[in-house]
Chains A and B, each alone.
Chain A
């Protein structure tokens, strides 16, 4: 079940007249493509592609079980090489986002595992991982109190805001900010930033990300409606 969409959001996502490059790249999402996991999804943003699989609610080791909620684990595998410290830190960010949204209290003493495999990395990797994880959790039927999405912003040396930057734009940028937003009120669930930026720029990026997330959530809705319309 594959859905594609071209989203161009030039003038609306940009809060100030700051120049070109504020559009989100082409999205595509495919669900239920793996046969073994309980839920799976593949999310593409431009050339960045991440494959996610969700197992759960399943058995948990006694050492890891929590008596009143589900144990959420996230495993992120890079495209090449062994997972390192960067992957561990991204896993923790994704896990914190998922824990805020998944209703773990409905499945105590179980484990919900999200496995993410980076297929190709061309910028905005963390946001793509968050989107793939959300679609996979929905595909697995894990109860959630809202959907979430990831949006990346980059600020370059003259203060131009770029949404969904490519790898080249991320390298040349002065600051890269990634936000995870929820679908109910566009509230901020998680933010991770790298680089130098001012307070006003942070608020600007957050506002731009919130506007961009509307498009992502609309894409989620279309994708899921298409999936259920086939049955």
Chain B
């Protein structure tokens, strides 16, 4: 029925609006249009150009479908704007239609509210710090946005320091603002990142993969050497181990993780563990 609906929804010469359900986990290209499940039913029965009257419109499950990264609402359909795999997450509590998004591979970060990122302080002007987060503009960080900071007790932040914080304001129209405290006023791991260690950049997809709950890479890396590691959603990773050599080895492993298969990784880990 989804196929019939797809064919019936052919509105443009040479272009089919496909049902989102049939394209899950497949590669979608910019310009494709996707139909949501509740539109499929309407299109399928209206294939001949007639729509049956529905007396109880509420019987159709009208969930609120969330349109995630890579998708835009276009009329009552979803327009794909980035190339990648289409993913879907079912709603947890039963209400709503779930989330659809496109898993794409990107290097450039665009600030999103609530993301935890690693920034580099580039300037101190008056009461705010300018922090480079890898986006199109530097984010602003107020000196009062640290745990225990008051007007008299200023935080010890210099130009060039690494900051781990989260965005409180991040949209396309305003300059992004970040803070190093959570909503209760506690640092919760955020703030200035300590001395030494190595900061390097990876793609955004790799960060998401490493931060997924079922990722084994981190556990394996932890078994190798004792280490401190901070992941920023803007593609930056800060890592620190006991010696410089171990730090560099860990940085190289994490950078290479993107292109290695699980077997190759296990081989490398076992070789390192022996030496």
A interface residues (Cβ-Cβ under 8 A, vs B):
32, 38-39, 56-60, 103, 106-111, 138, 140-141, 143-147, 182-186, 214, 220-221, 224-225, 228-229, 231
Contact B136 A58 (CB under 8 A): yes
28 pairs, CB–CB < 8 Å, chain A vs chain B: A38-B107, A39-B107, A57-B136, A59-B136, A59-B137, A103-B81, A107-B172, A108-B173, A109-B136, A110-B136, A140-B106, A141-B104, A141-B106, A141-B107, A141-B108, A143-B81, A147-B29, A183-B30, A183-B31, A184-B12, A185-B15, A186-B13, A186-B14, A214-B14, A224-B83, A228-B85, A228-B105, A229-B27
Cα–Cα distance between A38 and B13 once the two chains are bound (Å):
34
Given contacts A110-B136, A145-B31, contact A58 B12 (CB under 8 A): no
Cα–Cα distance between A138 and B31 once the two chains are bound (Å):
12
Cα–Cα distance between A108 and B136 once the two chains are bound (Å):
10
* Beta-carbon nearest neighbor of A56 in chain B: B108
* Beta-carbon nearest neighbor of A38 in chain B: B108
Cα–Cα distance between A123 and B85 once the two chains are bound (Å):
35
* Beta-carbon nearest neighbor of A105 in chain B: B172
Cα–Cα distance between A71 and B107 once the two chains are bound (Å):
19
| Range for the number of chain B residues in contact with chain A | 20 to 34
B residues within 8 A CB of A221? 27, 29
Q: A11 CB to closest chain B CB, in angstroms?
A: 19
Cα–Cα distance between A56 and B135 once the two chains are bound (Å):
9
- B82-140 contacts to A (CB < 8 Å): 82-85, 104-108, 110, 135-137
Q: A175 CB to closest chain B CB, in angstroms?
A: 27
Known: A103-B81, A107-B110. 5 other contacts (CB 8 A): A32-B105, A57-B108, A59-B136, A146-B30, A183-B29
Q: Which of A60, A108, A146 contacts B31 (CB 8 A)?
A: A146
B interface: dominant SS: loop
Residue B205 at the chain A interface, CB threshold 8 Å: yes
* Beta-carbon nearest neighbor of B12 in chain A: A185
* Beta-carbon nearest neighbor of A186 in chain B: B14
Contact A141 B13 (CB under 8 A): no
Q: Which of B13, B14, B105 contacts A231 (CB 8 A)?
A: B105
* Beta-carbon nearest neighbor of B132 in chain A: A59
Which of A108, A138, A184, A186 has most B Cβ within 10 Å?
A: A184
Residue B79 at the chain A interface, CB threshold 8 Å: yes
A residues within 8 A CB of B110? 57, 107
B residues within 8 A CB of A228? 27, 83-85, 105
A residues within 8 A CB of B30? 138, 143-147, 183
B residues within 8 A CB of A107? 110, 136, 172
Q: Which of A39, A60, A145, A214 contacts B79 (CB 8 A)?
A: A145
Contact B108 A184 (CB under 8 A): no
B residues within 8 A CB of A145? 30-31, 79, 81
Cα–Cα distance between A17 and B179 once the two chains are bound (Å):
69
Cα–Cα distance between A145 and B79 once the two chains are bound (Å):
8
Which of B12, B106, B172 has most A Cβ within 10 Å?
A: B172
Q: B139 CB to closest chain A CB, in angstroms?
A: 13
Contact B81 A185 (CB under 8 A): no
Q: Which of A110, A182, A214, A224 contacts B27 (CB 8 A)?
A: A224
A residues within 8 A CB of B15? 184-185
Contact A225 B107 (CB under 8 A): no
B residues within 8 A CB of A184? 12, 15, 31
* Beta-carbon nearest neighbor of B135 in chain A: A57
Contact A38 B106 (CB under 8 A): yes
Cα–Cα distance between A140 and B108 once the two chains are bound (Å):
7
* Residue interface mask B62-84, A partner, CB < 8 A = 1: 00000000101000000101111
* Beta-carbon nearest neighbor of B33 in chain A: A184
Contact A144 B106 (CB under 8 A): no
Cα–Cα distance between A103 and B106 once the two chains are bound (Å):
17
Q: Which of B14, B79, B82, B85 contacts A141 (CB 8 A)?
A: B82
A residues within 8 A CB of B13? 185-186
